[in-house]
């Protein structure tokens, strides 16, 4: 975990996201997350369906944003 002096505690959250098949999919997921948290840092490895997010936002909020974009998020 990291501490950002402006925002407080940043948590590293890892999501398993299925349905990402191309670079456009990665951009769509990244955009969804950054709309929920503009300061989020997003790293995606679609070969293993992994989305890593550094954020102080609740996990449920980020998962909902991804799901709203049309991708399945494993629990």
Domain that holds residue 44: 2-73
Nearest to 71 by CA among 8, 9, 15: 15
Cα–Cα dist 74/39, whole Å: 23
Residue owning tokens 């399945």? 72
Is the pLDDT at 11 greater than 80? The verdict is yes
Nearest to 1 by CA among 66, 56, 74, 64: 56
CATH number at residue 38: 3.30.70.100
pLDDT digits (tens, 9 = 90+) for 20-68: 999 999 999 999 999 999 999 999 999 999 999 999 999 999 999 999 9
Query: How many domains are there within the chain?
Result: 1
Sorting pLDDT into bands at 50, 70 and 90, what band is 1?
very low
Is the pLDDT at 2 greater than 90? The verdict is no
pLDDT score at 10: 80
* CA torsion angle 45 49 55 57 (round to 10): 160
Here the tokens at position 61 are 């909020």
């Amino acid at each position: 975990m990291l501490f950002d002096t402006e925002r407080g505690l940043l948590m590293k959250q890892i999501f398993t996201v299925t349905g990402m098949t191309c670079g456009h999919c990665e951009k769509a997921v990244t955009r969804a997350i950054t709309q929920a948290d503009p300061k989020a840092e997003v790293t995606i490895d679609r070969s293993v369906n992994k989305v890593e997010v550094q954020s102080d936002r609740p996990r449920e909020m980020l998962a909902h944003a991804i799901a709203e974009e049309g991708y399945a998020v494993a629990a």
